[in-house]
Structure 1
Amino acid sequence: MLERPWLDQYPAEIPKTLEIEEIPVQEYLKRTAEEFPEKVAIHFMGKEMNYRHLYESSIKFAAYLQSIGIVKGDRVAIMLPNMPSAVIGYFGVLMAGGVVVQTNPLYTERELEHQMKDSGAKAILALDILYPRVSKVKSKTNLEHIIVTAIKDFLPFPKNLLYPFIQKKQTGIVVTVKPDASNHLLPEILKQPQKKLVEYEYDFNEDLALLQYTGGTTGLPKGVMITHRNLVSNATMCVAWLYKSKPGQEVVLGVLPFFHVYGMTTVMILSVLQAQKMVLIPKFDVDTILKTIDKQRPTLFPGAPTMYIGILNHPDLGKYDLSSIEACISGSAPLPVEVQQKFEKVTGGKLVEGFGLTEASPVTHSNFLWDKQSVSGSIGVPYPETDAAILSLENSEPLPAGEIGELAVIGPQIMKGYWNRPEETEQVLRDGWLLTGDIGYMDEKGYFYIVDRKKDMIIAGGFNIYPREVEEVLYEHPAILEAAVAGIPDPYRGETVKAYIVVKEGSNVTEAELNEFCRKHLAAYKVPRYYDFREELPKTAVGKILRRSLVDEEKAKLNNDEEKHA
């Protein structure tokens, strides 16, 4: 039996147990639209949309999806940055009975093709400038329909007329899509009279709301099966944690991407549940963030350490008023103590570290925002209804406080499993417990600490990068004999990608050539920032490359450099 020492740390305002309401995720939007119809739901680049309009648009989109053949359980992909159509699309897919497949807009054709094949998605809602990429993979997948939307669709006049020219100047891409049987335009769909919507019964515990792709050390990304129960549970936990936030009154800065489960739950779903105003920003840009905070006065700012670091290091930081910020939970990577302290001083708000993973929808732990001092270096304590334990790396037995092992978590937010991968599901789910692959310990008070990762995953700027995937691309280059990829410390991104290369005898390749090659096959954030050409790579007796020893080598180098400069 677990002792749960962390419950003694809870402020009186946070309940130790929660009632999880058994409703599908999309029901939140219906309720909020009924209770707060005129409340602004979304602010986007100068234009606003209230909850009534958001709900009506989502229903219209849902009915249209059904009219083109989407039925309960069908997967529908969304490949968009944070913009109104990402929210309309998300809730519309769920209202139609579909399962959302969140797709990173930075994916290359290769990555997109894998995800569409694996998920079996029948339709995709994509940004206009991504249409050429999507259309190229369509014939190799189950995709039958491409629904296109553009940034200009949701801009105020005259920005909506000027934006295509700005976009052309910035990207050099101009895309014109003519609607036909398989190509559809979202603005046209939303102008049509609403078609009849078929409403389905839902199995709260079993029915999927989301396939969220995450990688692993064993190869290509796999779909995490997330149910309505998982998402509703995690959102309910977030509400309990943010006990000072008031329904209908908060303004949330929506810069965490919705195609990442962290942004999707803590910004989009939580905002809809609590009738908060989402200020959406399509890509992280420090100038834009500072101006937006100054003008829109957000009170909540969930983010990643790179975002807070970028803000604090901006030369014009002092020109902007950031005092509206009241609470920020930082995730995706460790939060440096000096960043936390400086950000709290600049804003007057609270910034604390939390922890989660895609397989947990995603949040499992957090430090307290109010009434308790956050513990430096700790990921905090488990959320209500969430249990955590540290298991022995030798025999998986629970360990006492202070001993290091693998973090395991259990709760109603834990995934159903990996899509079509029963063996990999069995490896990480044991009697409902999720083995996180993170190595850490718990102190006597119930605070948890992460000391390392069992997996070799690299977290750079909040993005998960899987070395195996990058290595496979490198191995396709004709000049490469051996390649290993590892994460090395980076003051801004937390970690960055370094590739260790052994070139075939008689062959030559430059860093610039490899960089160009990788950019054709990998999203930009996965491309190695550094290349180290070597005669040989460290290996085990059976010939397996020792990636960990390369990481240790980098750490030793860093320590030596610090000692020299001390």
Structure 2
Amino acid sequence: MTGFRNLGALIDPAADAGKTALIDMAGGSARHVSYGELDALSNAVARGLLRRGLRRGDRIGILAANSTEFLAALNGAMRAGLVAVPVNWRFPPATVEYVLGNSGASLVFADAARLAAVPAGLPRVELGGVEWEALLDPGPFEAVTPEPAEPALFLYTSGSTGRPKGVVLSHQSHLWVVEQRLKGADMRQERALIAAPLYHMNGLALAQLASAAHITVVLLPQFEARAYLRAIGEHRATWITGVPPMMAMLLQERDLLAATDTSSVRHVRCGSAPTSPALLAAIKAAFPQARFVNGYGTTECGPVVFGLHPDGLPTPPLSVGYPHPAVELRLNAQNVLEQKCPGMMNGYWNRPDLRPPITEDGFYVTGDVFHRDENGFFTVVGRVDDMFISGGENIFPSEVEKVLETHPGVEQSAVIPVPDDIKGTKPVAFVVRRAGATVDEAALKSHALAHAPAYMHPRRVWFVEALPLMGTNKIDKAQLAAWARERLA
């Protein structure tokens, strides 16, 4: 055990306070923030919130791009016994208003670019602004010791299948996550690069792990492929993480990639969606010194799910690994993963209309379909709610995408179903060509027919410059569906 008690207080006061905690690129230039400075700023936020009259359990919204102030607001709220609610600022205004209303936020921290998105009548403080400086109350602060299962965070889901759900995460649940991840690797010499949004588990969990491990984080305000590559070269990042679409966009910047020294990168972790064989090969070519980890996790249960095989067997290239020893896993009759661990959520906030996806014996039903091989390694097949039926055959979009991306002319692809009078639905594809490639629709249909069952081949293939992304940097399938309707009309 690490001895941490509060999820907002992961900085060890006995460790080197002068070490750089953050290289903050939010202003366009590198701002170095020491652990001592970040700790003091987090304490000043905690004291200031309590001086303002906020009480234990009150919710504090954070609507901002990644920055030092974002992390200090997050830490300070949790240290004070308040509940931090990071909000996806890429949500449309009505959804932002819904999230803040559903959470019952008493106050919202927002950066200058997003201050106007805070609903009228809700108290707001501009991060780094005059009100921020007035709120800060410098001085020592002893973080609150939370009660068992006391909420620390609400993380809202992407809302791709309905209204976003507020996942209630306790201090203990994610302290357990941090402790398990600290056991898994010696991170003392690492320098992590974070561009994934801190309102999403991918970026937030790494930021929390980095604080507990007392390592330096290069923090980008948001993902932009060229800025990300420059940060790797200029700041010698050793540990990078993201989702597959981020990595695919990165690899499209061939000129800058070729000119960048990537030899510092020792760890590449990709999660939140399946990785294709073509993308994996491209990542390994771009970062030849790095160990690639195909990660898996959920907002509801965290990122500690899989690890290495206990007998030392090598993990297959596209597998997410062997079950972590501290986690109970099983596949149900539909091969959907069910999980039980101390990192599990309390439930969904203020949603009496939803039945929590928890079995009677306490397993979280992930909604993700897996294949388990003879050695116990798991590989993601796809989301059970992404699967569609065409002419009586089950089709997972990720399986079709893997086939398309084995074609040398394809950089990225995304497959969705569209209505069909005969088969009910049929697959169609949006494709980003590899630079210089001239592949056309007929060639990709033939490729799919040659390498997969006929029912899986896309009946239409449309070429686009880039695939649309949601706020979590996952592919925006709703936008693709709208594009498909336009094209078919």
TM-score by length of 2: 0.77
In the alignment of these two chains, the number of paired residues is: 417
1:232–1:384 CA distance, 2 compared to 1 (3 A): farther
| 1:344 aligned to which of 284, 304, 307 | 284
Q: Cα distance 1:558–1:216, how it changes in 2: closer, same or farther (>3 A)?
A: farther
Aligned to 1:228: 171
1:85-133 residue CA offsets vs partner (Å, 9 max, x unmatched): 1111110111121111110121221011110111001111111121122
For residues 47 and 415 of structure 2, the distance between their equivalents in structure 1, rounded to whole angstroms, comes to: 44
Aligned to 2:50: 66
Q: Deviations over 1:474-518 (max 9, x none)?
A: xxxxxxxxxxxx9995966663788x6xxxxxxxxxxxxxxxxxx
Question: Displacement of 1:358 after TM fit?
Answer: 0.8
The answer for the alignment partner of 1:530 in structure 2 is none
How many Å separate the matches in 2 of 1:356 and 1:38? 33
Select the residue among 241, 248, 268 that pairs with 1:309.
248
2:15 maps to what in 1? 35
How far 1:187 sits from its partner (Å)?
Answer: 3.9
Q: Using the TM superposition, name which of 371-380 and 113-122 deviates more.
A: 371-380
1:44 aligns with 2:24: yes
Deviation at 1:339, TM superposition (A): 2.6
Cα distance, 1:55 vs structure 2: 0.6
- State the secondary structure of the residue aligned to 1:221: coil
Q: Which residue of 2 aligns with 1:265?
A: 205
Deviation at 1:415, TM superposition (A): 0.9
**What letter corresponds to residue 146 of structure 1 in structure 2?**
R
Give 1:427 shift: 3.5
Residue matched to 1:131:
115
1:196-229 Cα shifts (integer Å, max 9, x gaps): 85853411x3101111111567631111111111
Deviations 1:356-389 (A, max 9, x none): 1111124422568xx7633122121223311111
| Residues 139-178 of structure 1 mapped to structure 2, 5 A cutoff | 139=121, 143=122, 145-149=123-127, 153=128
Change (3 A) 1:373 1:208: same
Q: Hey, what does 2:436 align to over in structure 1?
A: none
Query: SS in structure 1 opposite 2:239?
Result: coil
Pick from 72, 84, 99 the counterpart of residue 100 of structure 1: 84
**Structure 1 pair 237/551, CA: closer, same or farther in 2 (3 Å)?**
farther
Farther-moved stretch of structure 1 (231-240 vs 67-76): 231-240
Which of 43, 46, 56 matches 2:40? 56
- What amino acid is the match of 2:252? N
Q: Percent identity?
A: 24
SS in 2 for 1:245: coil
2:425 to 541, 547, 550: 550
Q: How far is 1:539 from its partner? A: 8.9
Q: Does 1:245 align with 2:187?
A: yes
How does 1:472-511 map onto structure 2 within 5 Å? 495=414
1:81 Cα offset (Å)? 1.4
Structural mapping, 1:280-319, within 5 Å: 280-316=219-255, 317-319=257-259
Structure 1 residues 65 and 430: alpha-carbon distance in aligned structure 2, compared to 1, 3 A threshold: same
TM-score scaled to structure 1, two decimals? 0.67
Distance in 2, matches of 1:107 and 1:559, equals 34
Instruction: Letter of the 2:120 partner, please give it.
Output: K
| Equivalent of residue 295 in structure 2, options 334, 340, 354 | 354
1:432-447 equivalent positions in 2, closer than 5 A: 432-447=362-377
Partner of 1:115 in structure 2?
99
Q: 1:504 aligns to what?
A: none
Q: For each residue in 1:299-324, what CA deviation from the matched residue of structure 2 results, as whole angstroms up to 9, or x when unmatched? A: 11121222322232212221110000
Give yes or no for contact 1:352–1:367 (8 Å, CA) kept in 2.
no
**Cα distance in 2, alignment partners of residues 559 and 386 from structure 1:** 41
SS of 1:334's partner is coil
Contact 1:43–1:277 (CA under 8 A) maintained in structure 2: yes
Check whether the contact 2:238–2:264 (CA below 8 A) recurs between aligned residues: yes
Q: 2:274 is paired with a residue of what secondary structure?
A: coil
| Residues 343 and 216 of structure 1, relative CA distance in 2, 3 Å threshold | closer
**Residue number among 236, 259, 264 corresponding to 1:324 in the alignment:** 264
Match of 1:454 among 368, 384, 387: 384
Taking only aligned residues, the RMSD between alpha carbons, in angstroms, comes to 3.1
Cα 1:250–1:427, aligned 2, differ >3 Å: closer, same or farther? closer
Is this contact kept in 2: 1:226–1:361, CA < 8 A? no
CA contact (8 A) 2:193 2:239 kept: yes
Contact map agreement 2:357 2:364 (CA 8 A) in 1: no
Q: Partner of 1:202 in structure 2?
A: 146
- Partners in 2 of 1:304 and 1:366 — Cα distance? 18
> Which residue identity lines up with residue 23 of structure 1 in the other structure?
R
> How big is each residue's C-alpha offset from its partner over 1:410-439, in whole Å with a ceiling of 9 and x where there is no partner?
111111111123563444344221001111
Residue 565 of structure 1 deviates from its aligned partner by: 9.0
**Aligned pair in 2 of structure 1 residues 557, 387: CA closer, same or farther (>3 Å)?**
farther
Structure 2 partner of 1:173 = none
**Structure 1 position 263, deviation (Å):** 0.9
Q: 2:71 is matched with which residue: 87, 91, 95?
A: 87
Q: Deviations over 1:5-57 (max 9, x none)?
A: xxxxxxxxxxxxxx57561212322x2x4312011000013110100110101
CA 1:28–1:217: 2 relative to 1, 3 Å: closer
State the distance in 2 between where 1:558 and 1:427 align: 42
Q: Distance in 1 between matches of 2:426 and 2:290?
A: 36
What secondary structure, in the 3-state scheme, does the structure 2 residue paired with 1:355 have? coil
Residues 21 and 493 from structure 1, CA distance in 2 versus in 1: closer, same or farther, beyond 3 angstroms? Answer: farther
Residue 329 of structure 2: aligned partner: 388
Contact 2:239–2:268 (CA under 8 A) maintained in structure 1: yes
* Structure 2 CA distance for aligned equivalents of residues 457 and 288 of structure 1: 35
Q: Give the partner amino acid of 2:107.
A: A
Whole-angstrom CA distance in 2 between matches of 1:99 and 1:385: 27
Report the secondary structure of 1:358's partner residue. coil
Structure with a larger share of its residues in helix: 1
Q: SS of the residue aligned with 2:14?
A: helix
Distance of aligned partners of 1:445 and 1:201 in 2 relative to their CA distance in 1, 3 Å threshold: same
